[in-house]
Copies of this chain bind each other. A is one copy, B any other.
Amino acid sequence: MKQSTPAAEDYLKTIYGHTEWQPNLITPSVLAARLGIAPSSVTEMVKKLAAAGLLHHVPYGPLMLTPAGLRAATAVVRRHRLIETWLVRDMGFHWDEVHEEAEVLEHSISDRLLDAMDARLGHPAHDPHGDPIPDANGAVAREPAILLAQATAGHSGRVLRISDKDSAILRDLATDSIGPGSALTVVEALTVVEPLTVRLPDGQIRQLSPAAAELIWVSA
């Protein structure tokens, strides 16, 4: 199996990411949207990945990682998350600034350097956004979580992860002192007309936009 290119790694990582927190099959058009490329480009790459044994794909059907594809995907995710953790812990980056840098470096660093980072950081289990870091064998320790947007009033829990898709929202949350590990209780659930309201441990009340509530996962 020939060594994957950065583009192929991005496809696999994105397919993996789609099913990490919600068990949905991904379709070519959704993948294209996530990668910001044309659907026809996806068709081509999918053919190559399927030929390489990394993807199952029946024409006009959804995409599924094979065991080999899953291994390759978790390896990339491991790189990404270790790099993010390193950027925050060692290099003075904020957790809302690391995504783009990791997006590039995940395709560049050697296994040797990755191992050195991992050891230096003490084999961390979670990245700065709370996402679990797969171990060197690809095993992922995932905790049951629910999306804050779907939590009902009265739900109490810790913030397990906050998606790093939108760094503006990450910055707002940071100024609101909400981050991975924060305890909170839902005061008012999200509705079509009302923002979500949560109470922090110190009694403070925060209102969260629907967009923010869609990015935050709390313990069940």
Contacts and interface: CB of A to CB of B under 8 A. Distances in A.
Interface string A66-105: 0000000000000000000001001111000100110011
Nearest to A117: B91
Interface residues of A, number: 19
A108 to B, nearest CB: 4
B93 A116 contact: yes
Nearest to A113: B101
A34 interface: no
A112 interface: yes
A19 interface: no
A197 to B, nearest CB: 36
A112 B102 CA distance: 12
A113 B100 CA distance: 11
B105 A120 contact: no
B104 A108 contact: yes
A104 B90 CA distance: 21
Nearest to A87: B113
A97 B113 CA distance: 11
A110 interface: yes
Interface string A110-146: 1011001100100000000000000000000000000
A109 interface: yes
A101 B110 contact: yes
Contacts of A107: 108
A127 B23 CA distance: 49
Interface of A: 87, 90-93, 97, 100-101, 104-105, 107-110, 112-113, 116-117, 120
